[in-house]
Chain A
Amino acid sequence: MAVTEKQLQEILDQYPAKVQKNRKKHILIKDGEQGAQIIEANTRTVPGIITNRGCAYAGCKGVVLGPLKDMVHITHGPIGCAYYTWGTRRNKAKNDDPSQYFLNYSFSTDMQESDIVFGGEKKLAKVIDDVVEIFHPKAITVSATCPVGLIGDDVGAVAKAAEGRHGIPVLSFSCEGYKGVSQSAGHHIANNILMDKVIGASDLEEAPGKYAINILGEYNIGGDSWEIERVLKEIGYTIVSVMTGDGTYKDLRNAHTAELNLVQCHRSINYIAEMLETKYGTPWLKVNFIGVQGTTDSLRNMALYFGDEALIQKTEEVIAREVARVEPLLDQYKKICDGKTAFCFVGGSRGHHYQGLFSELGIETVLAGYEFAHRDDYEGREVIPTIKTDADSKNIPELHVTTDERRFRLKVSPAKMEELKKKIPLSYYAGMNAEMKDGSIIVDDLNHFETEEFIKILKPDIFASGIKDKYVIQKMGIPAKQLHSYDYSGPYAGFNGAVNFARDVSMGFASPTWNFIVPPWQDEPLLSGTVNEEGVA
């Protein structure tokens, strides 16, 4: 079932005129015959619309920095921002150095009214001193929140002075919540500083092993990265760093030594991927480790890039074994899932990635979208030159890196690169729209009103999104699957992840709970009895 242009217009007609004009550009019905369809994305949120979006601080500290486990992440602001990013995203990490493992902590300057009035710089300096004295971290980050920019605290200067006092890196991030229009600004801000101050900061010149790779834009939610690494290590790859799930400051400094960068979440990390290519000559490959097919394709593309016969053979061996192992497990769940439909509305990458896995289970995605992705995540990177930065995002700094004369090395000859690019997504991402079926709905920054309206028309069997939606959807009697937190399950990536996902989704369909929604007396008249037919002998 699909939404017609007429139905879409009926939804839009319910909006005030200005809102209608705005939202119209953020929704499209996929139509392959039209060729490249343009969607508006990464523009300001309509006030009062009930968006699912968060802020730049969440994108910077919550998403990119927070998972780095051997750094102390200080939030400079009132208490809420630090509090809400404490343990809520499930970026798992192993406690392999108990003296430098800070993931269970939340650090804040807890700004008070006096700090707003007289400035918070002194307090921030003291908090950094407190942290160094108590925890002796090897590096610190400081993330700014809304009021910090307004009162004019010079977080950069405080951080620099603290570096001088303590002899450790103190990185500052101007990720005030009002910057940009969503979490996306925060990704960019975090990328810039990590590239500028951390990546390449070690003296290491050679990767510590063969087929050296970095995994970019993988935050190890529910152990995703570990499942991916399990397979990669078995095939023979050396993983230099992961950005940033179970990641460390220590490893990130060596990221320049890799031969290839894998990009899982394009939105959050493509800046670093590009800059690594410019500065060190390391190409990046768009991968998708969600779903058996996605994982298999990604592994084959990697093997093709390195082009080593032994590696290719080992890759095929591992794929064959893993697929043979998980297929029977998946089959039992396919029986439950087959023929169903899904909505898939997640942050900036999963809205695309999970469609493949749904499809493997026989579930068709009829609506998909992102909270904060840009047009390239929808339409493919070829549209980047046509994207105009609007007034709301123009203040997000662009970091321009240049070739590192000493370390730049072409990993693959230009001729080989061109040849590879024809076969695999090297330094390229085709976006979500390309893979969606005709008639399906693509919505950017989906809000509560549209959620209800599209559900009425499409009646999906499952809605994959986040915690704010989850209970709304379930109240309607529709299973809701959180694709940010995985509903506290996981991993969902890789071969084992596909099985876990299939199990969890099937559980959502098969739970007896849905049968109890209507009380039995609602289907039964209050008075019942038999009619005596008189006069019948």
Chain B
Amino acid sequence: MLDCTPKEMKQRHGAVINPAKTCQPIGAMYAALGIHSCLPHSHGSQGCCSFHRMHLSRHFREPAMASTSSFTEGASVFGGGANLKTAIKNVFSIYNPAVMAIHTTCLTETIGDDIPSIIKSAEVPEGKLVIHANTPSYQGSHITGFSNMTKGMVAYIAETASPVKKEQANIIPGFVNPGDMREIKRIVKAMGIKFIMFPDTSGVMDAPMTGKFTMYPQGGATVAQIKDSGNSKITLALGRFASSDAADALTKKCQVPAAVLKTPIGIKATDALLLSLRRTFAQEVPAELEEERGQLVDIMTDTHFHFHGKTVAIFGDPDVVTGLTEFVLSLGMVPLHILTGTPGGAMGSAVGSFEDDINELLTQAGISANVKAGGDLFTLHQWIKNQPVDLIIGNTYGKYIARAEDIPLVRVGFPVLDRSVHSYLPVVGYRGAMRLIESISGALLERADRDAADEDFELVM
């Protein structure tokens, strides 16, 4: 497996080998699916749209509906206005969504189609909404695309009704699974705080089996909710890369102050979320959540010897990797290689440096490690060849390295294509942290069992 990957690292001059990211539009498509009764639309040639739908379907094992402008060579040369106008007409008359959320591809960005003017001259039925985001694939990654579409929701939909803000929070959950979004909602509800979450793919990308196909399932943030986000007291942007641009836009457009927090993975980031809610709304953390936290600490204490001092490589999307790194440090583990494919900050955005964030966490823990933004799995594999680890945490693509180097893999993040259930259950919050410990400790103990000599094979561990 991966036999052609040499241990010796040479500087490359442009080749990306085994990427740790994909391109913007899939993130925008995923975000758009988090609006209720919305059909994402890919303005480009149809290959992109098919690839993105397929990939989402493989990760979630759910339908991922989206339409496309289906460019031909002629449109590529003369502009895609006609294609998009035809698409808008067809989508509303055949598929009747409440909202059509358009994103672009490298094709339409290169030819410079002016989406707002095309929308203006298109036939949009009364009461229907068309929003858009520019998502050039040659900038950033799928996380950037998610961020751009979320920002687009603010730009098109959010409104201020009165200068007095309501006692409610906006939550932008970032590029996480519906299971995570459900858990974040549960936590905020338990705090007794009113909130609006957008985008929200719970109920869409984890919809139940009922014997009927519903093109626009129950879930998703409604247009009314997103509109009302302009009246909230605060926006909590969970994960800087995916969420802070939209929160900033909401501050600028509707004067809603923003707090940028980490994706609440692990005990510290979840504490930070609760503290932020507690301060903003003067609401005490309920016994229910304090009990969960105590259970988590209990588990961490009981099992610390399963993972303390174990070395780990972590890769994936920047917000999730940052949360995971903080959590494994709080477990006493030693992250040696930390990598994301997403470059430092989305272009033109205020998002800071992934590497700085991680290095700060590591410095506090007194650990030095390989840290890279804009890296690929070829680099990660070479790092591991030079400095082996006990565990890899990352998405499904890590399985090649895991097999090549005989290292257990814990699947967290996007995409997970070769296991099921993962998208229904959270990795965020205290309960998500419990689940992560179960996975991490389970993977390490399975390995210990497999490798143990008969006389060292333990019944109780």
Contact = CB atoms under 8 A, between A and B. Distances in A.
- Do A and B truly interact? yes
Interface of A: 14-16, 18-19, 44-58, 74, 77-84, 86-88, 95, 98-102, 104-113, 115-116, 123-124, 126-127, 129-131, 133-135, 145-147, 149-151, 176-181, 391-392, 395, 448-449, 452, 466-468, 470-477, 517-518
Interface in B417-455: none
Interface in B9-50: 10, 12-19, 21-23, 25-26, 41, 44-48, 50
16 contacts: A47-B87, A49-B70, A55-B47, A79-B23, A80-B23, A105-B378, A108-B19, A110-B14, A110-B19, A112-B139, A113-B138, A126-B14, A134-B10, A150-B110, A178-B45, A471-B63
A509 B30 CA distance: 32
A51 B109 CA distance: 22
B386 interface: no
Given A46-B86, A84-B51, A452-B213, 6 more contacts: A16-B89, A80-B25, A146-B76, A150-B107, A468-B64, A471-B57
Contact of B4 (A48, A99, A179, A475): A99
B269 interface: no
A134 B6 contact: yes
Contacts of A109: 14-16
B94 A449 contact: yes
A475 B209 contact: yes
B71 interface: yes
The 9 closest A-B pairs by CB, nearest first: A55-B47, A80-B23, A48-B87, A48-B90, A98-B3, A47-B87, A78-B137, A146-B107, A130-B15
Contacts of A54: 46-47, 50-51
Given A53-B50, A471-B63, A135 B4 contact: yes
B72 interface: yes
Interface size of B as a range: 35 or more
Nearest to B145: A80
A111 B57 contact: no
A113 B136 contact: yes
Contacts of B397: 86-87
B73 interface: yes
Contacts of B22: 79-80, 83-84
Contact of B69 (A47, A98, A476): A47
B362 interface: no
A133 B106 CA distance: 29
B139 A86 contact: no
B110 A47 contact: no
B226 interface: no
- Residue with the greatest number of chain A CB neighbours at <10 A, chosen from B63, B74, B207: B63
B400 interface: yes
A535 B4 CA distance: 91
A80 B46 CA distance: 13
Given A86-B18, A105-B2, A474-B209, A178 B72 contact: yes
B282 to A, nearest CB: 42
B67 interface: yes
A50 B3 contact: no
A467 B58 contact: yes
B266 to A, nearest CB: 28
Given A79-B141, A130-B12, A48 B107 contact: no
- Residue with the greatest number of chain B CB neighbours at <10 A, chosen from A134, A181, A470: A134
A147 B67 contact: no
B19 A48 contact: no
Contacts of B58: 88, 467
A392 B73 contact: yes
Given A79-B19, A105-B17, A146-B106, A55 B94 contact: no
A395 B21 CA distance: 33
B45 to A, nearest CB: 4
- Residue with the greatest number of chain A CB neighbours at <10 A, chosen from B55, B88, B214: B55
A449 B65 CA distance: 12
Contacts of B10: 133-134
A69 to B, nearest CB: 11
Given A44-B70, A49-B94, A468-B54, A80 B48 contact: yes
A437 to B, nearest CB: 27
Contacts of A149: 76
Contacts of B21: 79, 83
Contacts of A108: 15-17, 19
Contacts of B17: 105-108
B210 interface: yes
B212 interface: yes
B90 to A, nearest CB: 4
A467 to B, nearest CB: 5
B47 A46 contact: no
B381 to A, nearest CB: 10
A107 B15 contact: yes
A58 B53 CA distance: 14
Contacts of A50: 65-67, 95
A81 B25 CA distance: 12
B54 A104 contact: no
B148 interface: no
A19 B50 contact: no
Contacts of B378: 105
B217 to A, nearest CB: 9
A131 B18 CA distance: 13
A475 B76 contact: no
A48 B138 contact: no
A96 B95 CA distance: 50
B1 interface: yes
Given A111-B138, A181-B72, A46 B211 contact: no
B70 A476 contact: no
A115 B214 CA distance: 42
Nearest to B72: A392
Nearest to A57: B47
A82 B212 contact: no
